[in-house]
């Protein structure tokens, strides 16, 4: 009898230990991806390629990464993709809500994103912006339902400005494109120059359409026109604001003075670089290459961050409740490893993700901001972009 009792007790111990080790099966968490169809890329170089799944591939990798991590805690994740043509963005959002989605990564421009945010209030959905860099979305047009993993234009400009000031390249010649985004980039650069002690000694607007640089005589025209256009008072660097890629590639090697080209072209500042292999990023690129057949770009990275943030929040909180996840994402305990040398988190005043800005050329990583010596009472990452006292966001 005593032997039987001991055996039964041992069986209960073994069963109990197995229940502790084996995670309970959690409900699958669906994460949405909402995008708008875009016209094909206009090629400037023969190596340019149209990437219709740019951004989306990053979200797909994040789902795979989340499922790899989540299997140890019983969590699983599924991506529900919705791409809108000329239709209503709100309809696409409500369709995702009808499929049980409560977190949506958006690959949308500012106006579409605001329309989605207004609809999200009625659909109990939280949006994570992985495309629109507009500073107004973090200020007067901020929304309580939005977080941002794509850096703002102010963050990018501050990251570039810190590097230029650290190099003592304080005298800037600014060339601004014709697009609305180019004008906003220029405004951010003016703010950064004032903030960090640089001077814009000259500024010009790009107002003419160059001939086809890839035609037989295209380079001849550019070789004669650009030196004339780039005559300006002495400067340390030529800073380009050309988000659409209309002319920036034509400047390097053709300017009136032999000066570095920086900004949206030349030495580029951004949230990600295809050349980044530091801080374990080579492993991220390897996984992405296996999935997409190419290297990860900035749009892919911002979408990867957005989806990964939600899956990490679910795993750490052991919850799929949207309210619990949202509170955790916006709280002080959330930190995401983003392969950039520092933990990434969301600012509580505007929903923007704190993150380093990478400085790179077409072939190599050059630097990462914040630069040495730029201090902050809280996080040095808050020296990039709109700080709490500057914010015009009133959620």
The residue extents of the domains of the chain are 29-151+273-355, 154-270
User: If pLDDT is split at 50, 70 and 90, which confidence band does 41 have?
Assistant: low
DSSP string, 297-359: -HHHHHHHHHHHHHHHHHHHHT---HHHHHHHHHSTT--EE-SSSSEEEE-TTT-BEE-PEEE
Which one is predicted more confidently, 100 or 14? 100
Please list the residues that pair with 374 across neighbouring strands. Answer: none
Q: Are strands 365-369 and 336-337 parallel, antiparallel or unpaired?
A: unpaired
User: If pLDDT is split at 50, 70 and 90, which confidence band does 233 have?
Assistant: very high
Average pLDDT over residues 53-64: 97
What is the reported pLDDT for 219?
A: 56
What does pLDDT average to over the chain? 90
Location of structure tokens 């980039």 = 185
Task: State pLDDT tens for residues 338-378.
Answer: 999 999 999 999 999 999 999 999 999 999 999 999 999 99
Q: What length is written for the chain? A: 395
What is the reported pLDDT for 212?
A: 53
The CATH number assigned to the domain with range 154-270 reads 3.40.50.2300
What is the reported pLDDT for 218?
A: 54
DSSP state of 390: G
Single out the residue of 136, 97, 135, 134 nearest to residue 116, CA to CA. Answer: 97
Q: Quick one: fold of 29-151+273-355?
A: Rossmann fold (3.40.50)
Q: Residues near 111 by Cβ (< 8 Å), separated by ≥ 6?
A: none
Task: State pLDDT tens for residues 139-194.
Answer: 999 999 999 999 999 999 999 999 999 999 999 999 999 999 999 999 999 999 99
pLDDT surpasses 50 at 101: yes
User: If pLDDT is split at 50, 70 and 90, which confidence band does 290 have?
Assistant: very high
Alpha carbons 183 and 169: distance in angstroms, whole number: 22
In which region does residue 172 sit, left (phi positive, over 0), alpha (psi from -120 to 50) or beta (all else)? beta
Other beta carbons less than 10 A from residue 81's beta carbon? 14
User: If pLDDT is split at 50, 70 and 90, which confidence band does 47 have?
Assistant: low
Which one is predicted more confidently, 118 or 51? 118
Q: Alpha helix locations (H) across the chain?
A: 2-21, 56-70, 89-98, 110-123, 153-166, 180-196, 218-229, 281-292, 298-317, 322-330
Alpha carbons 241 and 129: distance in angstroms, whole number: 22
Alpha carbons 395 and 390: distance in angstroms, whole number: 15
What is the reported pLDDT for 210?
A: 56
pLDDT surpasses 90 at 283: yes
Alpha carbons 65 and 252: distance in angstroms, whole number: 39
Other beta carbons less than 10 A from residue 265's beta carbon? 21
User: If pLDDT is split at 50, 70 and 90, which confidence band does 224 have?
Assistant: confident
Based on C-alpha coordinates, what's the Rg of the chain? 24
Alpha carbons 29 and 82: distance in angstroms, whole number: 17
User: If pLDDT is split at 50, 70 and 90, which confidence band does 230 have?
Assistant: very high
Residue 329 structure tokens: 């994402």
Judge whether 262 and 255 are in contact, CB under 8 Å. no
Alpha carbons 200 and 44: distance in angstroms, whole number: 28
Q: Cis peptide before 138, with omega less than 30 degrees from 0?
A: no
Alpha carbons 45 and 150: distance in angstroms, whole number: 26
- Long-range contacts from 129-134, C-beta under 8 angstroms, 24+ separation: 129/306, 130/55, 130/58, 130/59, 130/105, 130/106, 130/299, 130/302, 130/303, 130/305, 130/306, 131/55, 131/106, 131/107, 131/299, 131/302, 132/106, 132/108, 133/181, 134/110, 134/184
């Amino acid at each position: 009898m005593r032997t039987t009792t001991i055996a039964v007790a041992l069986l209960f111990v073994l069963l109990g230990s197995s229940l502790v080790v084996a995670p309970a099966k959690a409900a699958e968490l669906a994460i949405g991806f909402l995008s708008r169809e875009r016209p094909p890329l206009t090629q400037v170089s023969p190596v340019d390629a149209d990437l219709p799944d740019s951004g989306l591939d990053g979200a797909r990798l994040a789902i795979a990464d989340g499922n790899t991590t989540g299997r140890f805690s019983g969590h699983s994740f599924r991506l529900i993709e919705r791409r809108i043509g000329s239709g209503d963005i709100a309809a696409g959002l409500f369709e995702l809500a009808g499929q049980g989605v409560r977190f949506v990564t958006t690959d949308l421009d500012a106006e579409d994103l605001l329309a989605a945010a207004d609809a999200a209030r009625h659909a109990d959905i939280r949006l994570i912006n992985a495309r629109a860099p507009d500073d107004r979305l973090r200020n007067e047009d901020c929304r309580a339902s939005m977080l941002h993993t794509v850096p703002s234009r102010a963050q990018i400009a501050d990251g570039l400005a810190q590097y230029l000031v650290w190099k003592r390249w304080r005298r800037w010649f600014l060339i601004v494109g014709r697009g609305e985004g180019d004008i906003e980039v220029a405004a951010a650069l003016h703010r950064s120059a004032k903030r960090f002690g640089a001077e814009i000694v000259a500024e010009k607007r790009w107002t003419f359409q160059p001939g086809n640089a890839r035609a037989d005589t295209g380079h001849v025209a550019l070789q004669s026109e650009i030196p004339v256009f780039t005559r300006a008072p002495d400067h340390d660097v030529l800073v380009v604001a050309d988000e659409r890629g209309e002319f920036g590639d034509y400047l390097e090697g053709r300017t009136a003075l032999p000066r570095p080209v920086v900004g949206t072209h030349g030495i580029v500042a951004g949230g990600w670089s295809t050349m980044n292999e530091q801080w374990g990023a080579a492993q991220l690129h390897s996984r992405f290459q296996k999935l997409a057949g190419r290297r990860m770009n900035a749009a892919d990275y911002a979408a990867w961050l957005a989806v990964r943030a939600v899956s990490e929040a679910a795993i750490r909180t052991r919850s799929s409740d949207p309210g619990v996840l949202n509170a955790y994402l916006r709280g002080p305990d959330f930190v995401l490893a983003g392969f950039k040398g520092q933990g990434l988190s969301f600012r509580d005043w505007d929903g923007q993700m704190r993150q380093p800005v990478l400085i790179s050329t077409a072939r190599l990583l050059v630097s990462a901001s914040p630069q040495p010596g730029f201090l902050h009472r809280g996080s040095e990452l808050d020296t990039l972009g709109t700080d709490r006292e500057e914010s015009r966001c009133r959620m």
